[in-house]
Amino acid sequence: MASLGKIIFWSMIILIVVFTAALILILALTLSGSQSDVESSNRSPIANLGKDVLLSCYIRSSSEAGAQASIVAITWRKEGLSGLVYQYQNGAANLENQNLGFRGRTELLPDAITSGNASLLLRSVRKSDDGVYSCEVISSSGGGTVSIHLRTAAFSETNFTTTKDILIADGARWLPKPNVTWLDHDGNILNGTTTLSPNFVGIFHVVSTLQPVTVRGTYTCRIENDLVTANSEATLTGSGVSARTYFIFSAAASTLTSTYLNIMTSVLCVCYLT
């Protein structure tokens, strides 16, 4: 009985040791996989169709290595795509295996590569560019991979005109299909009339009118869909309309709660009350 007890005891000790070792190994592999030296400042960007977008990817700087790591290779891929989006090797672009859909539309920032920046400039964004991209970087001091989910939309600044007691808001390009809301200076919802006209590729032209409005009054026209919101504030002056628009982008799966457009636009409409 004593020998059987010892066998059970030592068997349990061995199992505990094996289990602990396996747990440590799993944790080590998990941590090593999550501690990539490659990051992105925006992992869920929204690109405006027909415009250019920069997909952020860079080597994380540290007090030890800094940002002086020499990049050996950069490879951009898109999930579900045959061929590569872009590849950089041995100090130059290697586009032999580049997918034809990205030919002539992609480039890195040559002056930024030496500082560990592997961001990709994608020109003339198409609806088909929507998807998940991966940026893999190999450098002299480390490397890794980061995923970026690019979403595409069409959005434009709101222009205003006015005649008599009517205020007209015009949004030239919107996709997906948006909703329009008018608000007064206190944030109360007003009744406006909106027309959405799709063009041959399905992008909507938004025209919305508000009536009646008063001189010196301030009104907000909000055009929004699941990806982008344009808040446009218009103040009727004695000689026209003073307006400004700012955009809010949906963060979706990103860790950001919202992203604001860097540029606040101000427009003075040369239109007169009659």
- pLDDT of res. 96: 95
Let me know: does 98 contact 111? Beta carbons within 8 Å: no
- Tens digits of per-residue pLDDT, 239-269? 889 999 999 999 753 433 333 333 333 333 3
- Tens digits of per-residue pLDDT, 51-60? 999 999 999 8
Helical H segments across 78-175, by residue range: 110-113
Q: For tokens 């994608």, name the residue.
A: 122
125 closest CA partner among 93, 102, 95: 102
Q: CA 196 to CA 208: how far, in whole Å?
A: 9
Mean pLDDT, range 203-223, rounded to an integer:
97
- pLDDT of res. 141: 77
3-state secondary structure of 12: helix
Retrieve residue 41's tokens.
Answer: 């400042």
Strands 142-153 and 131-139: antiparallel
Q: CA 79 to CA 149: how far, in whole Å?
A: 10
- pLDDT of res. 114: 87
Does residue 24 have a pLDDT over 60? no
Q: For tokens 């990103």, name the residue.
A: 254
Question: In the chain, pLDDT over 70 holds for what percent of residues?
Answer: 76
144 closest CA partner among 219, 65, 197, 216: 65
Question: In the chain, pLDDT over 90 holds for what percent of residues?
Answer: 66
- pLDDT of res. 261: 36
Query: Which residue segments constitute the domains of the chain, with CATH numbers given?
Result: 38-153 (2.60.40.10), 158-269 (2.60.40.10)
More confident: 64 or 36: 36
- This prediction's pTM: 0.77
- pLDDT of res. 29: 44
